[in-house]
Amino acid sequence: MKNILHSDGKLACLIVLSILVIDQIIKIEVKTHMTLHQSIEVTQWFYISFIENNGMAYGMTFINKFMLSLFRLLAIGVIAIYLYKQVKVKARTRYIVFLSMVLAGAMGNMIDSMFYGLIFNASSPYYVSYFVPWGNGYAPFLMGKVVDMFYFPLIVSTWPDWVPFWGGQEFIFFSPVFNFADACISVGFVLLMIYCRQDLSTISFRLKKKKD
């Protein structure tokens, strides 16, 4: 039992650490080598496009940045505690792996919000961003922007004229620009839904039990 706990715990730590390192390397490379909104065509359906957002996956924004950062910190804490408990109760390894991917992705974007505003100057379309002395950056703690770069315009076409509201306008299938952390969250979540519904059902069962 101890060996199982030890191996699954190590695996979770390895996954989280690996994703964080890869995510931050990509983001720092993009931020310090590209101007804001610069786009590099890799293929006709894949671009490296540098943008920044307030921190929700795929650039979505619904709430105040500071409140969003606090909510994300809380969510990360809850997921981390839950993951730790799942390792202790010997949950299936695949469940540990997928949860670790979601946790690491959330942590990756949180690092941007926590520290990028403290260590970088503001990005601009006219110059490449660079490191500055600690605390002399473009935003205070928790207010930094998240770096996105992967853009996959798989289909670029035009809406038919007869389509209400959008007729004649350009249509792009999968237009969001995202980062490696976003991808890990999405892939981890989808895999949880496909392969771990039984594991996830125990959460709702426990919640119902507590209510009863």
Sketch the domain layout of the chain as residue ranges: 3-210
Report helix, strand or coil for 113.
Answer: helix
CB 45 within 8 A of CB 150: no
212 is catalytic: no
Distance linking the first and last C-alpha atoms of the chain: 32
Q: What is the mean pLDDT of the chain?
A: 89
| Torsion of the alpha carbons at 71, 74, 144 and 178, rounded to the nearest 10 | -80
pLDDT level of residue 1 (50, 70, 90 thresholds)? very low
Which one has a higher pLDDT value, 69 or 56?
A: 69
Catalytic residue (one of 8, 112, 148, 161): 148
CA distance linking residue 36 with residue 38, whole number of Å: 5
Question: Which residue's entry shows tokens 């969003």?
Answer: 68
Read off the pLDDT of each residue in 78-94 and give the average, rounded to a whole number: 95
Based on its alpha-carbon atoms, the radius of gyration of the chain, rounded to whole angstroms, reads 20
Report helix, strand or coil for 11.
Answer: helix
Read off the pLDDT of each residue in 75-81 and give the average, rounded to a whole number: 96
pLDDT recorded at residue 38? 98
CA distance linking residue 121 with residue 138, whole number of Å: 5
Share of the chain above pLDDT 90, in %: 70
Token couple for 106: 């959330």
pLDDT tens digit sequence for 157-182: 888 888 787 888 887 878 899 999 99
161 is catalytic: no
pLDDT tens digit sequence for 108-161: 999 999 999 999 999 999 999 999 999 999 999 999 999 999 999 988 788 888
pLDDT recorded at residue 56? 61
Question: Which residue's entry shows tokens 């989808």?
Answer: 190
pLDDT recorded at residue 20? 98
Catalytic residue (one of 8, 23, 182, 199): 182
Report helix, strand or coil for 151.
Answer: strand
pLDDT recorded at residue 156? 79
pLDDT recorded at residue 52? 96
Which one has a higher pLDDT value, 181 or 1?
A: 181
CA 39 vs CA 65, 145, 158, 173: distances in Å? 26, 18, 22, 18
